[in-house]
């Protein structure tokens, strides 16, 4: 959540809410940062909030976000029906708990988790992939600490190896839970973690290597198969058993349907846990993620809490407690409704729309495509012109058409590269892609036709002042400027002054 600052009483310019519609019911302005003395009609409260929300961006046109912005009306209805159910009350809402169990099983099977007499995958629903990564990281840290304690070795300096392209939640995990984050730096043209360099950074204190299936920066899949093979060799040589966690927040619901032969999941023996966001390409509104462990042994028992004050024994592993049931139910609806065929069709359509967008951008001749054809459905692109400001100007210009297209610099050591990124979700139709391309072309024309700052040209003559005791020299003072001269014939000076906002700058 974004941190909020409590306003002081002196900041009165925005201390009150005044609404045209509310004036039918409310005569006096309402305090913005304090509770009002009296209640107001429900119609007025609704209209005040509704009007302010009009100033938010349109979620459908927010091309910065991976998060689902459209679901079928039937699923919306189910979510509203379950909005008052607290998911944590497993004994009171056993069907919701059963839906979560079914979702965990579906995802584990989708990720090729081994199921036999001795091993059974386990998993849990979370608020999103951020919480899922926190839980997976804690499991790796505790497992590493337990082993080091048993060996009589120090266990106070754990580290985790990732690429510099990881999402900020990895940095949060490292800082909050006191784990050193060792990042493999990027380089121009290679914007994901290099497996070779990652394995070189692994030492006896490494609790795991974090790999990304679908980089936030350009949608590219990291080579997890190569990482697994290189790490296995190092483990064999050193006697360590450094594992892999796969952050499949964006790609976990893409790769199984578009690239079923790609080995990135539990088919690789060193992959011990995987997280995925149901609210991204899992096609559910924001607020649902999943983390799956290869087996129960990969999740230390001491991290699991058993409670019974809500009814029967309830094992939980979570950073929070109360949680809405709606997203769990929505995820099961999508699994039931879509099936493998439905998800494959959606992902195929998204990739096709991404192709149309990519080819349209290439036709302009202005952009270099940074994203790959194999990855998640997005298009990342940079101006061929190395002027960094162009990307930010284009992003701002597209806002005038309603589009939210982010522009950002790459992490070290590729921070000199500035890119724009369009996430192609299910609700970004072919028609919208074509309209976006036309708006990009219009915005580019506006940038090219942007007039230069107008200037006013004027002349003035400089002559010495004459007064008693004149030593033959004098000063002519202009704000922030002094011109010195000696007595001689007048000199004509030509001066250009830029005009900004229709006014000349400081010449009196």
Q: In residues, how long is the chain?
A: 508
Q: Out of 227-236, 314-323, 402-411, 473-482, which region has the weakest mean confidence (pLDDT)?
A: 473-482
pLDDT of residue 14: 60
210 in Cβ contact with 245 (< 8 Å): yes
Taking only the tens place, the pLDDT of each residue in 346-368 is 999 999 999 999 999 999 999 99
In terms of Cα–Cα distance, which of 427, 432, 431 is closest to 68?
427
How does strand 159-163 pair with strand 180-184? parallel
At 498, the pLDDT band (50, 70, 90 cuts) reads very low
Indicate whether 490 pLDDT > 60: no
Mean pLDDT computed over 458-485: 51
Q: Where are the domains of the chain?
A: 1-56, 455-504
Taking only the tens place, the pLDDT of each residue in 182-198 is 999 999 889 999 999 99
pLDDT of residue 505: 34
Supply angle C-alpha 304, 212, 194, rounded to 5: 130
pLDDT of residue 444: 95
At 7, the pLDDT band (50, 70, 90 cuts) reads low
Supply angle C-alpha 29, 32, 34, rounded to 5: 105
Indicate whether 504 pLDDT > 50: no
Indicate whether 502 pLDDT > 50: no
Taking only the tens place, the pLDDT of each residue in 386-401 is 788 999 999 999 999 9
Tokens of 130: 């951020």
pLDDT of residue 329: 97
In terms of Cα–Cα distance, which of 417, 462, 503, 9 is closest to 186?
417
Mean pLDDT computed over 213-232: 97
Look at 113 and 449; give whichever has higher pLDDT: 113
Indicate whether 497 pLDDT > 50: no
Q: How far apart are CA 161 and CA 195, in angstroms?
A: 10
pLDDT of residue 459: 55
Q: What mean pLDDT is reported for the chain? A: 87
Q: For the chain, how far is it from start to end, CA to CA, in angstroms? A: 50
Taking only the tens place, the pLDDT of each residue in 270-303 is 999 999 999 999 999 999 999 999 999 999 999 9
pLDDT of residue 489: 54
pLDDT of residue 415: 87
In terms of Cα–Cα distance, which of 126, 97, 374, 409 is closest to 249?
126
Residue whose tokens read 């941190």: 3
The share of the chain scoring above pLDDT 70, in percent, equals 82
Three-state secondary structure readout of 172-232: HHHHHCCCEEEEECCECCECCCCHHHHHHHCCCCEEEEEEEECCCCCCEECCHHHHHHHHH
């Amino acid at each position: 959540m974004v941190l909020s600052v409590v306003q002081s009483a002196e900041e009165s310019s925005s201390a009150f809410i005044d609404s045209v519609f509310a004036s039918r019911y409310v005569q006096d302005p309402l305090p913005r940062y304090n509770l009002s003395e009296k209640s107001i009609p429900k119609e007025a409260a609704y209209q005040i909030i509704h009007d302010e929300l009009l100033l938010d961006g349109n979620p459908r046109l927010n091309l910065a976000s991976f998060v689902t912005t459209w679901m079928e009306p039937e699923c919306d209805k189910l979510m509203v029906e379950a909005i008052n159910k607290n998911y944590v009350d497993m004994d009171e809402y056993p069907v919701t708990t059963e839906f979560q169990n079914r979702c965990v099983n579906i995802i584990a099977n989708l990720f090729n988790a081994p199921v036999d007499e001795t091993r059974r995958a386990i998993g849990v629903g979370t608020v999103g992939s951020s919480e899922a990564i926190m839980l997976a990281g804690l499991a790796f840290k505790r497992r590493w600490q337990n082993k080091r304690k048993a060996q009589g070795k120090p266990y106070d300096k754990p580290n985790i190896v990732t690429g510099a392209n990881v999402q900020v939640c990895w940095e949060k995990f490292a800082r909050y839970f006191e784990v050193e984050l060792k990042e493999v730096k990027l380089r121009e043209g290679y914007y994901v973690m290099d497996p070779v360099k990652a394995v070189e950074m692994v030492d006896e204190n490494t609790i795991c290597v974090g790999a990304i299936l679908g980089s936030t920066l350009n949608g590219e899949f990291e080579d997890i198969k190569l990482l697994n093979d290189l790490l296995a060799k190092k483990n064999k040589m050193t006697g360590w058993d450094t594992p892999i966690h796969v952050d499949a927040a964006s790609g976990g619901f893409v790769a199984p349907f578009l690239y079923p032969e790609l080995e990135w999941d539990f088919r690789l023996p060193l992959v011990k846990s995987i997280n995925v966001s149901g609210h991204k390409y899992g096609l559910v509104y924001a607020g649902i993620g999943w983390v799956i462990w290869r087996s129960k042994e990969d999740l230390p028992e001491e991290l699991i809490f058993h409670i019974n004050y809500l009814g029967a024994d309830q094992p939980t592993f979570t950073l929070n407690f109360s949680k809405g049931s709606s997203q769990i139910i929505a995820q099961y609806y999508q699994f039931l409704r879509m099936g493998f065929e439905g998800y494959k069709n959606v992902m195929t359509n998204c990739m096709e729309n991404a192709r149309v967008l990519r080819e349209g951008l290439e036709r302009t001749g202005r952009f270099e495509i940074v994203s790959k054809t194999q990855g998640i459905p997005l298009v990342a692109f940079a101006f061929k012109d190395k002027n960094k400001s162009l990307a930010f100007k284009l992003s701002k210009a597209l806002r005038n058409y309603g589009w939210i297209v982010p522009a950002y610099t790459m992490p070290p050591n590729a921070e000199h590269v500035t890119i724009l990124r369009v996430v192609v979700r299910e609700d970004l139709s072919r028609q919208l892609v074509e309209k976006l391309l036309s708006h990009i072309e219009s915005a580019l024309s506006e940038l090219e036709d942007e007039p230069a700052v107008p200037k006013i040209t004027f002349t003035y003559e400089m002559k010495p002042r004459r007064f008693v005791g004149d030593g033959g020299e004098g000063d002519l003072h202009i704000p922030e400027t002094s011109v010195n001269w000696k007595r001689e014939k007048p000199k004509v000076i030509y001066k250009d002054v830029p005009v900004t906002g229709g006014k000349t700058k400081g010449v009196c």
